[in-house]
Amino acid sequence: MSQTKAKGSGVPLAERQADFAAAILDAGAPIPKGLVGPDGAPDARRFAVYRNNVVAGLSESMKITFPAVARIVGEEFFQAMARAYVVADPPRSPMLLEYGSGFPDFIERFPPAATLPYLADVARIENAWKEAFHAPEAAPLPPAALAAIAQDQVAALRLRLHPSVRLVTSRYPALTIWRMNVDGGVPGPVDLKAGGEDALVVRPAANVEVRFVPPGGAAFVRRLGEGAALGEAANAGLAASEAFDLSASLAGLISAGVFSGYELGPEQAA
């Protein structure tokens, strides 16, 4: 079966659409064949306006998702970086809320941002915030839910993470920097050599919460998310940091609404 062709063009419609999309993102590309103005002649000026509007609109959507990054680098730098990202990684879905997940990795490879080594991790926190905000709903596990579990069964406990949970680990104080640049935060000096910070993002109710994770906590939560039993996850936390405190971490995570259920076996799940 032959491909559908654009009326009067002799060129398959899919090919014309691909050429149009490529030209939108490449300022040096010629006007796609068959595109004409009201006078029936090719109009480079009209197409340039359309091209600019598309790229500008996508760049503006990035600013909404990454406000701290935009504040850190300034309007002009952010617009240039966002435009470069849009051209390199255009949307693959009509749902704009899904767009921009690759921006943190792009920042990490963007040469002009090399003097801000923490910037990609700040962007990862913001992307995690967006993903948590749009994650499915689930009731958090009540603090009293584990009280009836026998002591000898605790190590085999498998805790289910709330669907909104996201982790961001950084070699830099990225969470501190992010907090300084959102919600009326006041930027100040930060010692980049002071050590890294791990952030946990969760939306147990209406609002997204971003929390510091104590030493070893990120490894602990990550293993739980991979389906490990509590005992195995605790070992991962201790391997990551000798300062890992299982009791304090577990209590804090339950209080934060990080878990949505648990399993001990086929007959014991909640």
How much is the average pLDDT of 236-245?
96
Closest CA to 178 of 118, 135, 114: 118
Is the model more confident about 41 or about 99? 99
How much is the average pLDDT of 197-223?
96
pLDDT at 52: 61
126 belongs to a structural domain: no
129 belongs to a structural domain: no
Structural domain harbouring 254:
137-270
pLDDT at 183: 85
End-to-end CA distance of the chain: give it in Å, rounded. 53
130 belongs to a structural domain: no
Q: Where are the beta strands (DSSP E) in the chain?
A: 158-161, 166-169, 198-202, 209-213, 259-265, 268-269
Same domain for 158 and 247, yes or no, is yes
Distance of CA 83 to the CA centre of its chain: 18
Q: How do residues 15-57 score in pLDDT, each as one tens digit?
A: 666 656 665 665 555 666 666 567 666 656 666 555 666 666 7
Closest CA to 154 of 247, 242, 43, 74: 247
243 belongs to a structural domain: yes
pLDDT at 120: 98
How many domains does one find in the chain? 2
Same domain for 81 and 207, yes or no, is no
Same domain for 80 and 148, yes or no, is no
Q: How do residues 70-97 score in pLDDT, each as one tens digit?
A: 999 999 999 999 999 998 888 777 677 7
Residue 3 — very low, low, confident or very high, per pLDDT cuts 50/70/90?
A: very low
131 belongs to a structural domain: no
Same domain for 109 and 220, yes or no, is no
238 belongs to a structural domain: yes
123 belongs to a structural domain: no
Same domain for 81 and 171, yes or no, is no
pLDDT at 150: 86
